[in-house]
């Protein structure tokens, strides 16, 4: 089973439990900033060493680390509120800046957090939101934590149909042109952005 599939299974299990027991659940997604150019210039052994070091840092702050692709890892945080997950993400960001070194120097990490029930209503949105928040953090300069709840409260969520069905996207308030997204319609296939 791939790590991606293992994450999907664990999110589904823990989300059902969080709904039934009225507890919190967060997902944190972390990706090294600017790693691709560095990665292209390194030997496979050095690449693996840096990624393993990054994974160990994630594991030091969370009980799980699932490699989604390349230098992007996800951590499932059962019983963790949005605020606690954001604090954990900040700790991770600071630790990576201090510890992870590449041949060209220090590196930074962008992180995304989504939390149930504070910012999501489904298991699919939990991982999708954390990944989207991480990509937002990268797009706005990197070395920061993005929170899905803040993104969806300050932006209007819309639906765009692109051949494969509905795909959620972020559009500025009032500049959508499409109907608002019903959060419950973010289906299982959108669990992880490909």
Closest CA to 133 of 150, 120, 157: 150
pLDDT tens column, 88-111: 999 999 999 888 766 666 789 999
Residues spanned by the domain of 101 = 3-147
**Please, are residues 144 and 167 in contact by the beta-carbon 8 Å criterion?**
no
State how far the Cα of 79 lies from the Cα of 25, in Å rounded to an integer: 5
**Residue 50 within any structural domain of the chain:** yes
Unique residue bearing structure tokens 């299982």: 188
**Residue 135 within any structural domain of the chain:** yes
**Please, are residues 3 and 65 in contact by the beta-carbon 8 Å criterion?**
no
pLDDT tens column, 111-133: 999 999 999 999 999 999 999 99
pLDDT tens column, 11-20: 999 999 999 9
Sequence length of the chain is: 194
CATH of the domain at 111: 3.30.70.270
**Residue 180 within any structural domain of the chain:** no
Give the distance, in angstroms, between the CA of residue 49 and the centroid of all CA atoms in the same chain: 22
C-alpha dist (Å) from residue 59 to 30, 37, 76: 12, 25, 11
DSSP state of 43: -
Whether the predicted model's global pTM rises above the 0.85 cut: no
**Residue 170 within any structural domain of the chain:** no
User: For the chain, what is the domain count?
Assistant: 1
């Amino acid at each position: 089973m791939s790590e991606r599939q293992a994450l999907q299974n664990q999110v589904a299990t823990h989300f059902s439990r969080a709904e039934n027991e009225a507890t919190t659940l967060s997902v944190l997604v972390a990706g090294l900033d600017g790693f691709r150019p560095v990665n292209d210039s390194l030997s496979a052994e050095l690449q693996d060493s840096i990624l393993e070091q990054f994974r160990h840092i994630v594991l030091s702050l969370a009980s799980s680390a699932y490699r989604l692709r390349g230098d992007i890892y996800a951590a499932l945080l059962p019983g963790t509120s949005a605020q606690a997950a954001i604090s954990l993400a900040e700790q991770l960001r600071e630790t990576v800046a201090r510890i992870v070194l590449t041949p060209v120097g220090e590196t930074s990490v962008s992180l995304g957090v989504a939390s149930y029930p504070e910012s999501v209503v489904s298991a699919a949105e939990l991982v999708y939101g954390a990944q989207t928040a991480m990509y937002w953090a990268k797009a706005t300069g990197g070395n920061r934590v993005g929170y899905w709840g803040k993104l969806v409260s300050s932006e209007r969520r819309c639906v765009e149909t692109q051949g494969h069905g509905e795909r959620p996207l972020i559009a500025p308030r009032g500049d959508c042109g499409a109907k608002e997204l019903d959060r419950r319609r973010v289906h299982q296939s959108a669990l992880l952005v490909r």
